[in-house]
């Protein structure tokens, strides 16, 4: 009996096809994330001094005003974070915020809801169903999904950037005890920060979809940017990790 010969399938290596690779792995990225400071450069030395100054302030119980001012960020703690104990009198509460109280990707979104309730969406359920009344339940469930989707996409992009640059975290360069990584350091690379990407994506999604006043927009952006930088207060990120992570999250949400 003649054996049956099945046609052989052609197995291709996806790495032979440039279009199948993530943009970062092709040596570029779709969101113009700049490279981090080169280790040992004058720019990196500035970041080392900025990091150590911030951590020394936090360790001594002093609000790191100089750190925030050095990155052109209003140093005043956001009022909405007072519910978590974040004040100028307790800088360690800010570092705890991004490790315990608000470490879930959806927590900043939930904090905005707690602060403002459910403001009117720019496009509501009533646009399709004029007979609907009261709270735009369907619209807000859809908005929750959009926020979650943008956060997910921002984190995917952030981790592609992380493993492309494989940038060391502060604790990998210093043996400074509790001065570095106050609550433990994650095992993945430093640049860019996932918390920053979450913050940028969350803030921009709110700005794009919710009818906020100019004051609320400024408050949201201030809270989001400070939240991102709290990872340096906690000793697990350099300031550019947080800044560029936030910018990446904004770009992903806009896309």
Tokens coding 118: 């459910």
Task: Say if 171 falls within a structural domain.
Answer: yes
Q: Compute how many other C-beta atoms are within 10 angstroms of the C-beta atom of residue 147.
A: 22
pLDDT of res. 13: 40
Using the predicted structure, report yes or no on whether residue 113 has a pLDDT greater than 90: yes
Provide the CATH number for the domain around residue 59. Answer: 1.20.144.10
Task: Say if 13 falls within a structural domain.
Answer: no
**Domain ranges, residue 85:** 36-254
Long-range CB pairs of 61-68, under 8 A, 24+ apart, other chains included: 61/90, 61/91, 61/92, 62/91, 63/88, 63/89, 63/91, 64/91, 64/233, 67/229, 67/232, 67/233, 67/239, 68/226, 68/229
Cα distance between residue 255 and residue 253, in whole Å: 5
Mean pLDDT of the 19-31 span:
56
pLDDT of res. 24: 56
Mean pLDDT of the 51-76 span:
96
CB 74 within 8 A of CB 68: yes
Tokens coding 200: 């940028």
Over residues 6-22, the pLDDT tens digits come to 344 443 443 344 444 45
Over residues 188-227, the pLDDT tens digits come to 899 999 999 999 999 999 999 999 999 999 999 999 999 9
Task: Say if 7 falls within a structural domain.
Answer: no
Mean pLDDT of the 86-110 span:
90
Task: Say if 3 falls within a structural domain.
Answer: no
Task: Say if 5 falls within a structural domain.
Answer: no
Using the predicted structure, report yes or no on whether residue 178 has a pLDDT greater than 80: no
Task: Say if 146 falls within a structural domain.
Answer: yes
Cα distance between residue 204 and residue 39, in whole Å: 31
* Domains contained in the chain, number: 1
Mean pLDDT of the 156-174 span:
88
Tokens coding 85: 């104990």
Mean pLDDT of the 139-166 span:
91
Task: Say if 118 falls within a structural domain.
Answer: yes
Task: Say if 134 falls within a structural domain.
Answer: yes
Question: Of 30-34, 56-60, 99-103, which has the strongest mean pLDDT?
Answer: 56-60
Q: Which residue has the higher pLDDT, 175 or 56?
A: 56
Handedness of CA 156, 73, 175, 95 (dihedral sign): negative
Of the candidates 172, 168, 207, the one whose C-alpha atom is nearest the C-alpha of residue 189 is 168
- Mean pLDDT score across all residues of the chain: 84
Q: Which residue has the higher pLDDT, 29 or 39?
A: 39
CB 248 within 8 A of CB 158: yes
């Amino acid at each position: 009996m003649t054996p049956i010969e099945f046609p052989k399938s052609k197995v291709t290596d996806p790495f032979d096809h440039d279009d199948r690779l993530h943009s970062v792995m092709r040596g570029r990225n779709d969101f113009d994330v700049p490279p981090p400071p080169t280790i040992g450069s004058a720019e990196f030395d500035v970041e080392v001094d900025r990091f150590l100054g911030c951590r020394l302030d936090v360790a001594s119980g002093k609000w790191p005003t100089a750190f925030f001012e050095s990155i052109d960020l209003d140093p005043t703690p956001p009022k909405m974070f007072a519910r978590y104990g974040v004040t100028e009198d307790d800088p360690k509460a800010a570092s705890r915020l991004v490790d315990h109280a608000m470490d879930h990707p959806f927590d900043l979104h939930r904090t905005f809801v707690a602060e403002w309730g459910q403001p009117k969406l720019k496009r509501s359920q009533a646009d399709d169903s004029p007979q609907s009344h009261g709270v735009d339940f369907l619209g807000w469930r859809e908005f929750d999904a959009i926020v979650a989707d943008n956060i997910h996409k921002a984190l995917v992009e952030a981790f592609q950037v992380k493993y492309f640059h494989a940038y060391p975290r502060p604790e990998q360069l210093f043996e400074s005890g509790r001065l570095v990584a106050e609550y433990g350091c994650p095992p993945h690379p430093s640049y860019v920060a996932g918390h920053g990407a979450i913050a940028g994506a969350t803030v921009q999604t709110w700005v794009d979809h919710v009818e906020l006043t100019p004051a609320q927009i400024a408050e949201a952006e201030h809270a989001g940017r400070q939240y991102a930088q709290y990872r340096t207060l906690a000793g697990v990120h350099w300031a550019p990790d947080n800044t560029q992570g936030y910018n990446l999250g904004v770009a992903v949400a806009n896309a």
